């Protein structure tokens, strides 16, 4: 009876528990409906016309979901109902097949092609609340595959190879055509690929009938029935024809005839024959390219311009039905008649050598003088007898106009039947006008006589472009005393140097030339004095310096002369030659900035280079600072220089360069102010040799390894040289004789230098101390905010103390104790300096130093002023000079870094944390000083602590030795101007740049914490918004604010400083007294601009003294300048009659002006040849122009009434070089122009970088017979 009773009790308890649990649930009813179902169908398309499927998700966290219902609609989610609301219970997907669709007002079983269907779903929770209705994005029925077609090679009957092009066309009205695939057998198909209208395809191998099948797939996945097309492959060429011309010679220079045998092709037959004409050999230059003559087996080619005494070869080939050409057969050659003209002697009136009179045989030297012009037509051959030549000028000028064409060059050659170098004298431009030109010429086999060159240019300024200069017995082209244009030529197979130029008269344009196979693959560069700014381009071969080059201004009152060397240039120096900058009070500047990929190389010219074969680069007087970046200097050290680079009291910046293999020093310094950074100085006798130090040397972050005698040596026994933070090839620093003399090298880099993030300065003092009485102080400066760590290790390499912090600069004391606070035992400890940039995460190359602890020593430490502190007036020098074996101390100071010492105080009374001496700095002028505390003990070593400080003089800060290099820059080429200046005290520097025209401030540079001494800054020619400034002159001011709030300034914003030397122009030369602008002749104006930079106005005035053309009114830099006048007035019309050229008195610019410039296209040589032609007779005129760099070009023809009738070039990007455009005298719609007269050819060139527009004009006369 117990069991039933127990059961009742348990049942009553269970019921009560259930009631208890139900009460709170009833009290909190679910008032939130389920989430809106997210409904997903089976994609964008379905191929089924009976069945649809969908799935969904929804949730209700409180009462749960007890039922789902779905509905299906067509066309849209609100369209006609196909299946009304149907429950799925709690199932979250459904597949349904019993659909009835609406077509109009009729019902249709199943799904309708092309129609879109939508699933709608709602959910009900446990409290009978329905969710909002969710809808799918619709699925469209597409059960019909696409249709399409395929065609091989545009439905051709034959194909020349299995490689064909398929033309494809396919449509699908619902889901569009998406993919396609192909087969050569109708069974195995290629992988599906996106549909396209054409496809390259390879048929099955071998000749014969071939079929290709194509299938197309729509977006729903339906594949079409296969479409196909057939073609017959005939890859075998026809038999080659045998060609016969009209014999060994012909009497015509205008036509050639040939016939050939019938070819055969058994498969696709012969479709046509083609002929071709070549000159010289069957592989020679093409005179007329393959031209079809249909089924005929002969041709008479007319309209030819053939050269006399020249052999031509006529080729023929057969083309079969598949378009496959046979091997070409060529005739055995037919030679044109020798209808030459014998010439020689003087030409004193204008003469023309035409193609009809070619070849011209020179039996005695031809001299063109008396202002006569010799014009040579395209295609003319001039043959020279032994020891004859062509001389332009002499006592009076002569002009040569030799303009050939690419297919019709003008040839100057030997008359010897067996041509060889040195068989005639060559061309000699002895006294010619600037109009002289050789364009598309060939000059060969010259070099006889004293000139020993194919072409000699002196006392003349001709243009040599697009020509071939080859096979001379000596030089290819020898230039002396003048600055011609030499571009786009080929120098080949000459016996000596292909080109000889002079540094003092460097060509005005030298670019895009090719040098190959010459006896000496280099340009001979004669030295001398460079008295005007020069940019030495990289020609693709080295320059060989024949004699020493001195770069310097002609007077101390003139600005410095700058030599700029392009990246990638190599200069090879002959024995005992030098490159020298400045001389006494005259200045020269080097701007040699290469790149890592294109370094600038200074090396020996010897075929077996060795140290000491040339003197080196010497900087004797360079202001502003010269720059060498990414350079290689090697094999120097000969002569008194005894160094690769010699710096004699000058500021020079040398970075990222390799200085090696000197017979003496890599770099020699004498009281210089260099910046040597990131260089590799190796394999010299001495890496750096200091004859006299001044404390302003900045030699850091270099790799100094492998120098045979010393890495750095100093001969100065008074002033110390600091070479801290260099890599010596070993983490332990320099060893043995790597450092010699009074040189401070610690701390050093224990890794290869890093940039841009780096240690700028590190210092620990004292390096030897007694931890029982004094501390050492570590000081560091980094190039950016950083997290730094000092790790101190004992002689077992165990870490005994780690010090770390953030910020820069910093000072950190160390008391000689370990991490636990215990004084460390005596010995030498290694300190590793590491840092990570807070901004970029870059890790700086680590530095290293040594500290020695000795608790038996006296105490010696200066605690104030701190290292690099700035002091003024009377200064108390605080510190400690004491200890158990203390005997006496003294405090001294010196100018610079550890120079000659002056006693401040001495005493035998110990001082602990007190005043050691008092120092009155009021009378001191030099800003950098050293303080030295020396403690003499009763026994043991003497202790020394040295602190470098900066003294602020009682007067305001002074800014001096301000200079700029280079004076002119092109910001669009990323050129920068370097400003150099000296500060008497350290401080925060602000540099402001102003436009010279109106004094408008455009850029402000803020340079905090600049040190005393030599400093540099750069300006990229951009304003504060990053935009390039207007091309003109800019002056600048410099302001320094020292730690006492005093300011020093250079220049005045509203009234800038002007130099003592005013600018002027001289040596004015005009190329000709008379010229004909209607013949596209230009007047060349040469002049020298002297003194300071300035704005110069050059104008043309008529006989009434009225200005008719302003040629130039802009900023000039000192040096040689060239202008051209095309004979037009400012309104564009031609001037006729007398004229005068006026150079106005220049307007002086502020001193140290920076000039922003952008070189124009160089279209001064824009011309039309011939300038008179008859379009109705099929004649053409050729327009040529030369671009100095890339431009966007437009070329238009404007008729005499001012109407633009033809656009030949319409905003087309064109590269640097010579360009040629032909005009057939027709308008844009193809008609020959109706108006006779002068047509203006307008050239517009837009700089794609700056947007600047340049324009030029030529003229062509259209004549209608």
Indicate the pTM of the whole model. Answer: 0.65
Report the C-alpha gap between 378 and 407 in whole angstroms.
9
pLDDT the model gives residue 105? 67
Q: Give the whole-number percent of the chain exceeding pLDDT 90.
A: 60
Give yes or no for residue 14 having a pLDDT over 70.
Answer: no
Report the C-alpha gap between 168 and 431 in whole angstroms.
70
Enter the tokens of residue 589. Answer: 């500047």
Task: Name the band, by pLDDT with cuts 50, 70 and 90, for residue 1066.
Answer: confident
Q: Which of 50-64, 95-109, 781-795, 827-841 has the lowest mean pLDDT?
A: 95-109
Strand 977-983 to strand 943-951: parallel, antiparallel, or no bridges (unpaired)? unpaired
More confident residue, 1161 or 333: 333
DSSP 1154-1194: EEE------GGG-EEESSEE-GGGT--EEEEEEESS-EEEE
Instruction: Taking residues 1118-1130, report their average pLDDT.
Output: 76
Task: Name the band, by pLDDT with cuts 50, 70 and 90, for residue 1083.
Answer: confident
For 835, residues 6+ apart whose C-beta sits below 8 A from its C-beta are 757, 759, 780, 782, 786, 787, 788, 789, 843, 844
Domain 38-141 -> CATH class: mainly beta
Task: Name the band, by pLDDT with cuts 50, 70 and 90, for residue 4.
Answer: very low
Report the C-alpha gap between 59 and 39 in whole angstroms.
13
Q: Is the CATH number of domain 147-233 2.60.40.10?
A: yes
Give yes or no for residue 852 having a pLDDT over 50.
Answer: yes
What are the tens digits of pLDDT across the range 616-651?
999 997 766 789 999 999 999 998 889 999 999 888
What are the tens digits of pLDDT across the range 603-612?
999 999 999 9
pLDDT the model gives residue 203? 94
pLDDT the model gives residue 966? 80
Q: Could you give the C-alpha distances from 952 to 119, 921, 1010, 1037, in angstroms and in order?
A: 87, 8, 14, 22
Report the C-alpha gap between 1045 and 342 in whole angstroms.
88
β-partners of residue 1064 are 1090
**3-state DSSP call for residue 4?**
helix
Q: Give the whole-number percent of the chain exceeding pLDDT 70.
A: 95
Instruction: Taking residues 224-232, report their average pLDDT.
Output: 94
Instruction: Taking residues 565-572, report their average pLDDT.
Output: 96
Report the C-alpha gap between 744 and 761 in whole angstroms.
13
What CATH number was assigned to the domain covering residues 1163-1262?
2.60.40.4070
1003: left (phi over 0), alpha (psi -120 to 50) or beta: beta
Query: Shortest CA distance to 833 belongs to which of 889, 792, 795?
Result: 792
Q: 979-992: string of b/e by CB count within 10 Å (b at 16+)?
A: bbbbbbbbbebbbb
Hunting for tokens 């002119």 — which residue is that? 968
Burial of 3 per CB tally in 10 Å (0-12, 13-18, 19+): exposed
Report the C-alpha gap between 1239 and 10 in whole angstroms.
121
Task: Name the band, by pLDDT with cuts 50, 70 and 90, for residue 20.
Answer: very low
pLDDT the model gives residue 218? 94
**3-state DSSP call for residue 961?**
strand
Give yes or no for residue 434 having a pLDDT over 70.
Answer: no
Cα of first residue to Cα of last residue in the chain, in angstroms, is: 145
Report the C-alpha gap between 1117 and 1155 in whole angstroms.
8
pLDDT the model gives residue 1161? 67
Average pLDDT, the chain: 89
Task: Give, as one character, the DSSP assignment of residue 973.
Answer: G
Burial of 1213 per CB tally in 10 Å (0-12, 13-18, 19+): exposed
858-954: same fold as 38-141?
Answer: yes
pLDDT the model gives residue 1073? 62
The answer to whether 178 and 218 have CB atoms below 8 angstroms apart is yes
Report the C-alpha gap between 938 and 853 in whole angstroms.
18
Classify domain 1064-1149 by CATH architecture. Answer: Sandwich (2.60)
Report the C-alpha gap between 914 and 905 in whole angstroms.
14
Report the C-alpha gap between 1064 and 468 in whole angstroms.
41
More confident residue, 1188 or 1156: 1156
Report the C-alpha gap between 1086 and 1097 in whole angstroms.
14
CA 996-998-1000 angle, to 5 degrees, is: 85
Report the C-alpha gap between 460 and 439 in whole angstroms.
17
Give yes or no for residue 74 having a pLDDT over 60.
Answer: yes
The answer to whether 726 and 697 have CB atoms below 8 angstroms apart is no
More confident residue, 144 or 1060: 144
Report the C-alpha gap between 769 and 379 in whole angstroms.
90
Instruction: Taking residues 195-212, report their average pLDDT.
Output: 94
Domain boundaries, the chain: 38-141, 147-233, 243-335, 340-519, 527-740, 754-855, 858-954, 959-1050, 1064-1149, 1163-1262
Report the C-alpha gap between 1023 and 1006 in whole angstroms.
14
Task: Name the band, by pLDDT with cuts 50, 70 and 90, for residue 1265.
Answer: low
Q: What superfamily would CATH give domain 858-954?
A: Immunoglobulins (2.60.40.10)
pLDDT the model gives residue 17? 34
The answer to whether 917 and 948 have CB atoms below 8 angstroms apart is no
What are the tens digits of pLDDT across the range 382-413?
999 999 999 998 888 898 999 998 889 999 99
Q: Could you give the C-alpha distances from 884 to 776, 881, 910, in angstroms and in order?
A: 19, 11, 10
What are the tens digits of pLDDT across the range 300-328?
999 888 877 789 999 999 999 999 999 99
More confident residue, 354 or 10: 354
* 243-335 CATH fold: Immunoglobulin-like (2.60.40)
Query: Shortest CA distance to 77 belongs to which of 124, 139, 131, 34?
Result: 139
Q: Is the CATH number of domain 959-1050 2.30.30.30?
A: no
Other Cβ atoms less than 10 A from the Cβ of 284: the count is: 14
CA 296-300-306 angle, to 5 degrees, is: 145
Give yes or no for residue 338 having a pLDDT over 90.
Answer: no
What CATH number was assigned to the domain covering residues 754-855?
2.60.40.2550
Task: Name the band, by pLDDT with cuts 50, 70 and 90, for residue 461.
Answer: confident
What are the tens digits of pLDDT across the range 1003-1052?
999 998 888 777 888 899 999 999 999 888 999 999 999 888 889 999 99
């Amino acid at each position: 009876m117990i069991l039933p009773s127990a059961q009742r009790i348990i049942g009553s308890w269970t019921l009560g528990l259930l009631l208890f649990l139900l009460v709170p649930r009833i009290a909190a009813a679910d008032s939130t409906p389920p989430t809106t179902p997210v409904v997903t169908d089976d994609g964008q398309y379905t191929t089924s016309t009976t069945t649809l499927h969908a799935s969904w998700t929804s949730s209700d966290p409180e009462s749960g979901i007890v039922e789902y219902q779905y509905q299906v609609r067509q066309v849209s989610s609100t369209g006609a109902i196909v299946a009304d609301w149907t429950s799925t219970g709690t199932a979250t997907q459904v597949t349904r097949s019993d659909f009835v669709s609406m077509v109009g007002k009729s019902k249709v079983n199943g799904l309708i092609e092309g129609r879109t269907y939508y699933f709608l779903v709602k959910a009900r929770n446990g409290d009978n609340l329905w969710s909002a209705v969710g809808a799918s994005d619709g699925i469209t029925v597409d059960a019909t595959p696409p249709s399409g077609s395929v065609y091989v090679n545009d439905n051709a009957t034959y194909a020349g190879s299995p490689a064909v092009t398929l033309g494809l066309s396919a449509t699908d009205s619902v889901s569009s055509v998406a993919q396609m695939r192909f087969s050569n057998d109708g069974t195995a198909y290629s992988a599906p690929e996106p549909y396209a209208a054409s496809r390259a395809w390879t048929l099955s191998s071998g000749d014969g009938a071939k079929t290709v099948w194509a299938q197309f797939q729509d977006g729903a996945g339906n594949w079409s029935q296969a479409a196909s097309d057939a073609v017959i492959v005939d890859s075998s060429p026809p038999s080659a024809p045998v060609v016969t011309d009209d014999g060994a010679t012909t009497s015509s220079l205008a036509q050639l005839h040939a016939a050939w045998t019938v070819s055969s092709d058994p498969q696709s037959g012969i479709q046509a024959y083609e002929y071709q004409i070549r000159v010289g050999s069957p592989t020679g230059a093409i005179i007329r390219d393959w031209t079809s003559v249909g089924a005929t087996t002969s041709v008479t080619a007319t309209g030819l311009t053939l050269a006399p005494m020249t052999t031509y070869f006529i080729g023929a080939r057969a083309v079969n039905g598949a378009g496959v050409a046979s091997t070409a057969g060529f005739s055995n050659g037919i030679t044109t008649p020798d209808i030459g003209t014998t010439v020689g002697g003087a030409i004193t009136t204008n003469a023309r050598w035409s193609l009809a009179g070619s070849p011209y045989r020179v039996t005695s030297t031809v001299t063109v003088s008396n202002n006569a012009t010799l014009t040579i037509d395209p295609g003319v051959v001039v043959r020279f007898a032994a020891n004859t030549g062509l001389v332009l000028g002499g006592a009076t000028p002569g002009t040569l106009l030799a303009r050939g064409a690419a297919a019709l060059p003008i040839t100057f050659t030997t008359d010897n039947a067996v041509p060889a170098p040195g068989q005639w004298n060559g061309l000699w431009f002895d006294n010619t006008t600037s109009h002289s030109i050789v364009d598309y010429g060939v000059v060969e086999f010259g070099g006889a006589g004293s000139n020993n060159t194919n072409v000699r240019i002196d006392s003349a300024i001709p243009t040599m472009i697009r020509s071939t200069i080859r096979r001379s017995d000596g030089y290819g082209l020898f230039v002396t005393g003048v600055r011609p244009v030499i571009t786009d030529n080929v120098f080949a197979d000459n016996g000596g140097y292909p080109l000889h130029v002079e540094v003092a008269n460097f060509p005005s344009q030298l670019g895009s030339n090719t040098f190959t196979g010459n006896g000496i693959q280099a340009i001979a560069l004669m030295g001398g004095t460079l008295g005007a700014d020069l940019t030495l381009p990289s020609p693709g071969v080295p320059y060989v310096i024949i004699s020493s080059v001195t770069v310097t201004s002609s007077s101390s009152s003139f600005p410095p002369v700058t030599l700029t060397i392009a990246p990638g240039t190599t200069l090879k120096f002959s024995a005992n030659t030098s490159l020298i900058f400045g001389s006494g009070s005259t200045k020269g500047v080097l701007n040699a900035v290469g790149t890592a990929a294109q370094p600038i190389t200074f090396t020996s010219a010897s075929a077996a280079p060795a140290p000491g074969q040339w003197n080196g680069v010497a900087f004797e007087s360079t202001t502003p600072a010269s720059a060498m970046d990414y350079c290689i200097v090697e094999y120097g050290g000969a002569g008194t220089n005894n160094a690769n680079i010699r710096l004699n009291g000058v500021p020079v910046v040398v970075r990222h360069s390799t200085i090696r293999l000197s017979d003496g020093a890599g770099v020699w310094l004498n009281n210089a102010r260099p910046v040597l950074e990131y260089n590799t100085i190796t394999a010299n006798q001495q890496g750096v040799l200091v004859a006299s130090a001044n404390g302003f040397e900045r030699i850091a972050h270099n790799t100094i390894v492998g120098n045979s005698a010393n890495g750095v040596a100093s001969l100065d026994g008074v002033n110390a040289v600091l070479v801290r933070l260099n890599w010596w090839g070993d983490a332990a620093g320099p060893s043995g004789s790597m450092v010699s003399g009074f040189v401070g090298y610690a701390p050093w880099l224990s890794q290869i230098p890093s940039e841009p993030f780096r240690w700028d300065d590190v210092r620990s003092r004292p390096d030897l101390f007694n931890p029982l009485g004094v501390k050492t102080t570590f000081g560091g400066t980094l190039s950016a905010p950083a997290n730094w760590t000092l790790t101190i290790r004992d002689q077992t390499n165990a870490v005994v103390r780690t010090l770390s912090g953030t910020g820069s600069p910093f000072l950190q004391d160390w008391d000689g104790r370990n991490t636990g606070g215990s004084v460390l035992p005596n010995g030498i400890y290694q300190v590793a300096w590491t840092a990570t940039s807070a901004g970029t995460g870059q890790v700086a190359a680590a530095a290293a130093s040594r500290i020695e602890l000795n608790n038996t020593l006296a105490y010696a430490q200066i605690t104030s002023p701190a290292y690099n502190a700035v002091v003024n007036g009377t200064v108390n020098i605080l510190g400690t000079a004491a200890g158990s074996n203390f005997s006496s101390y003294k405090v001294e100071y010196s100018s610079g870094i550890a120079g000659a010492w002056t006693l401040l105080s001495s005493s035998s009374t110990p001082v602990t944390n007190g005043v050691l001496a008092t120092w009155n700095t009021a009378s001191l002028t030099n800003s950098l000083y050293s303080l030295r505390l020396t403690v003499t003990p009763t026994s043991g070593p003497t202790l020394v602590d040295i602190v470098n400080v900066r003294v602020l003089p009682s007067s305001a800060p002074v800014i001096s030795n301000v200079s700029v290099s280079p004076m002119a820059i092109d910001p669009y080429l990323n050129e920068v101007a370097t400003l150099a200046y000296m500060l008497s005290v350290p401080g925060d520097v602000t540099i402001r740049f102003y436009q010279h025209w109106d004094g408008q401030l455009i850029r402000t540079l803020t340079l905090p914490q600049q040190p005393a001494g030599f400093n540099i800054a750069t300006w990229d020619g951009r304003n504060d918004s990053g935009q390039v400034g207007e091309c003109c002159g800019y002056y600048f001011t410099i302001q320094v604010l020292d730690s006492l709030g005093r300011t020093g300034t250079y220049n005045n914003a509203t009234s800038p400083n002007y130099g003592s030397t005013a600018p002027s122009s001289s040596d004015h030369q005009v190329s000709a007294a008379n010229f004909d602008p209607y013949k596209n002749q230009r007047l060349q104006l040469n002049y020298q601009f002297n003194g300071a930079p300035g704005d110069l106005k050059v104008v043309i005035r008529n006989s009434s003294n009225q200005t008719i053309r302003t040629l130039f009114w802009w900023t000039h830099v000192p040096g040689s300048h060239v202008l051209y006048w095309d004979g037009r007035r400012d309104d564009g019309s031609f001037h006729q009659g007398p004229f005068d050229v006026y150079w106005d008195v220049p307007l002086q610019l502020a001193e140290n002006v920076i000039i922003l410039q952008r070189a124009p296209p160089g279209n001064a040589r824009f011309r039309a040849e011939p300038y008179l032609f008859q379009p109705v007779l099929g004649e053409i005129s050729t327009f040529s122009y030369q671009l100095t760099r890339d431009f966007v070009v437009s070329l238009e023809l404007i008729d005499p009434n001012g109407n633009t009738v033809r656009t030949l070039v319409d905003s087309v990007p064109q590269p640097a070089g010579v360009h040629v455009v032909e005009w057939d005298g027709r308008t844009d719609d193809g008609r020959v122009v109706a108006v006779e007269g002068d047509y203006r050819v307008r050239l517009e060139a837009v700089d794609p970088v700056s947007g600047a527009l340049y324009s030029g004009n030529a003229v062509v006369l259209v004549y209608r017979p």
